[in-house]
């Protein structure tokens, strides 16, 4: 495994910044030694070069790019993340060549030193290292290029009839029929602050016959340096007392505990669950395996875009909707199409009754 300034683009763990880069330098130095007939000290020079370029990359990402990264992603981060990641890789590659050129220069004997030769060798070594490390990280930390095709929502085809609820960045509870071109509508509001944050919109079945209720679960955040105000309380009454009927949900939906974030809400009928969906909240990935078809794993673990994957719901038609880094997205495991839905958190989907069409008619 080899890398240099690109290393902290994906992860800034102590393992990479302090340990892995030594191995990277050994490999790069070995390439210089045997491909370009450099002297024995080439390995040590390249170990030093990788530590310098890795830490330079970490500082640049943390202090220069990091504070402006959200603005670069814009209002629909999902639709820009691939372009931004590619641009950052190319900039990091150019920076690595510039930083490591002096080390490659001194790694050669005096008779073989020249600016053109040094630039060529540095470029070759870094192109090889970047190619290997990019492929590795696409499999482990940034899976979009191989596992999904980012498309506009309209290109996902027919969507299931029903209503999607979510929480906007300002605390409004919004609703939209994703099976039609309805505008967003505000149905409730959650007073959030530094001390109170909603983390789940919960669908509750009434104890007696009645409509399904929409409630909110919130985290009360306590700080060691300031007291929590006495008026910070979770919402006690339902946000929306009637969001649908119980019969629209699968029979086994209400028997599952959706309190844990790692739980998957599955709205498919019991006989239509051939696609296997696995969600791991600890390692932040979502697996979808289509029988005799695609196997997709979605994860995002960049330093500048460490998107937490939460609140996974499998829709009645098998598409998967979830929260990913402050945005709601939908994924079709059969076609591997991935689309941005809205900015916000806490998605909750209420399917329409079986006899209701996407346009609301019966």
Structure tokens at 250: 């699968």
Structure tokens at 7: 């290393």
**Among candidate residues 87, 115, 142, the one where a domain is terminated:** 142
Q: Is residue 360 part of a domain?
A: no
Q: Is residue 308 part of a domain?
A: yes
pLDDT tens column, 288-308 = 999 999 999 999 887 777 899
Q: How far apart are CA 329 and CA 17, in angstroms?
A: 33
Are residue 288 and residue 260 in the same domain, yes or no? yes
pLDDT band, very low/low/confident/very high, at 359 (cuts 50, 70, 90): very low
Query: When comparing pLDDT for 30 and 267, which is higher?
Result: 267
**Among candidate residues 142, 160, 189, the one where a domain is terminated:** 142
Q: Is residue 252 part of a domain?
A: yes
Are residue 98 and residue 212 in the same domain, yes or no? no
Are residue 185 and residue 329 in the same domain, yes or no? yes
Domain ranges, residue 86: 7-142
Are residue 194 and residue 325 in the same domain, yes or no? yes
Are residue 17 and residue 127 in the same domain, yes or no? yes
Is residue 259 within 8 Å of residue 222, measured between CB atoms?
no
Note the Cα 214 to chain centre separation in Å.
Answer: 27
Are residue 132 and residue 59 in the same domain, yes or no? yes
Is residue 128 within 8 Å of residue 2, measured between CB atoms?
yes
Is residue 279 within 8 Å of residue 223, measured between CB atoms?
no
Are residue 71 and residue 179 in the same domain, yes or no? no
3-class DSSP state of 309: strand
Q: Helix crossing, 42-60 with 21-35: angle to 10°?
A: 130
Is residue 253 within 8 Å of residue 266, measured between CB atoms?
yes
pLDDT band, very low/low/confident/very high, at 16 (cuts 50, 70, 90): low
Are residue 224 and residue 284 in the same domain, yes or no? yes
Q: Give the pLDDT of residue 1.
A: 30
Placement of tokens 């346009």 in the chain: 359
| SS3 of the chain: helix, strand, coil, percent, to 5 | 35, 25, 40
Q: Which helix (H) or strand (E) holds 182?
A: none
pLDDT tens column, 227-272 = 888 888 888 888 999 999 888 999 888 866 555 555 799 999 988 9
Q: Is residue 58 part of a domain?
A: yes
Choice among 113-117, 278-282, 311-315 with the minimum mean pLDDT: 113-117
Q: CA torsion 309→311→314→315, rounded to 10°?
A: -120
Q: Is residue 359 part of a domain?
A: no
Please choose, from the candidates 256, 255, 289, the residue with its C-alpha nearest in 3D space to the C-alpha of residue 274: 289
Bridge partners, residue 320, by sequence: 314, 331
Please choose, from the candidates 239, 157, 151, 248, the residue with its C-alpha nearest in 3D space to the C-alpha of residue 200: 239
Are residue 186 and residue 329 in the same domain, yes or no? yes
**Among candidate residues 97, 125, 142, the one where a domain is terminated:** 142
What proportion of the chain, given as a percentage, has pLDDT over 70? 88
pTM assigned to the model: 0.85
Is residue 334 within 8 Å of residue 274, measured between CB atoms?
no
Are residue 170 and residue 294 in the same domain, yes or no? yes
Q: How far apart are CA 71 and CA 241, in angstroms?
A: 37
Please choose, from the candidates 139, 161, 130, 155, the residue with its C-alpha nearest in 3D space to the C-alpha of residue 3: 130
Residue 12 has pLDDT above 50, yes or no: no
DSSP alpha helix (H) spans, 233-355 = none
pLDDT tens column, 122-155 = 888 888 888 888 888 888 889 999 999 999 999 9
Sheet of 327-332: strand order equals 149-150, 337-343, 327-332, 320-324, 309-314, 265-266
Residue 62 has pLDDT above 80, yes or no: no
The half-sphere exposure of 60 on its side-chain side, counting CA atoms within 13 A, is 17
Residue 356 has pLDDT above 80, yes or no: no
Q: How far apart are CA 306 and CA 67, in angstroms?
A: 14
Q: Give the pLDDT of residue 7.
A: 52
Q: How far apart are CA 293 and CA 126, in angstroms?
A: 36
Placement of tokens 């999904």 in the chain: 148
Residue 352 has pLDDT above 80, yes or no: yes
Q: Is residue 358 part of a domain?
A: no
Q: Is residue 345 part of a domain?
A: yes
Which residues have C-beta within 8 Å of that of residue 161, sequence separation ≥ 6? 177, 179, 351, 352, 356, 357, 358
Q: Is residue 68 part of a domain?
A: yes
Number of structural domains (the chain) is 2
Are residue 60 and residue 204 in the same domain, yes or no? no
Are residue 70 and residue 159 in the same domain, yes or no? no
């Amino acid at each position: 495994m080899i890398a240099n300034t690109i290393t902290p683009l994906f992860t800034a763990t102590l393992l990479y910044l302090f340990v892995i880069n030594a191995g990277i330098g050994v490999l790069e130095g070995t390439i210089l030694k045997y491909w370009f007939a450099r002297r024995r000290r080439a390995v040590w020079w390249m170990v030093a070069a990788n530590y310098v370029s890795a830490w330079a990359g970490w500082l640049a990402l943390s202090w220069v790019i990091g504070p402006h990264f959200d603005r670069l992603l814009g209002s629909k981060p999902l639709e820009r993340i691939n372009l931004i990641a590619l641009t950052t890789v190319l900039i990091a590659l150019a920076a690595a060549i510039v930083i490591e050129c002096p080390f490659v220069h001194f790694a050669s004997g005096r008779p073989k030193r020249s600016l053109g030769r040094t630039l060529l060798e540095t470029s070759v070594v870094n192109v090889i290292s970047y190619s290997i490390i990019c492929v590795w990280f696409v499999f482990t930390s940034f899976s979009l290029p191989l596992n999904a095709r980012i498309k506009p929502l309209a290109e996902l085809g027919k969507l299931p009839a029903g209503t999607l609820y979510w929480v906007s960045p300002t605390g409004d509870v919004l609703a939209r029929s994703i099976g039609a071109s309805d505008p967003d509508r505000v149905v409730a509001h959650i007073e959030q602050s530094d001390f109170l944050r909603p983390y789940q919109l919960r669908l509750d079945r009434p104890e007696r016959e009645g409509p399904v209720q929409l409630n909110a679960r919130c985290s009360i955040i306590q700080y060691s340096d300031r007291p929590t105000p006495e008026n910070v309380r979770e919402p006690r009454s339902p946000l929306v007392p009637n969001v649908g009927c119980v019969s629209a949900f699968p029979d086994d939906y209400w028997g599952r505990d959706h309190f844990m974030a790692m739980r998957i809400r599955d709205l498919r009928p019991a006989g239509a669950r051939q696609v296997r969906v696995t969600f791991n909240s600890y390692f932040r990935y979502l697996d979808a395996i289509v029988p005799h078809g695609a196997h997709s794993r979605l994860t995002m673990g960049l330093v500048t875009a460490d998107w937490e994957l939460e609140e996974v719901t499998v829709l009645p038609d098998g598409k998967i909707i979830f929260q990913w880094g402050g945005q709601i997205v939908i994924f079709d495991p059969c076609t591997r199409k991935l689309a941005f839905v809205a900015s916000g958190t806490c998605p909750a989907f209420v399917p329409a009754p079986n006899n209701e069409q996407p346009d609301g008619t019966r």
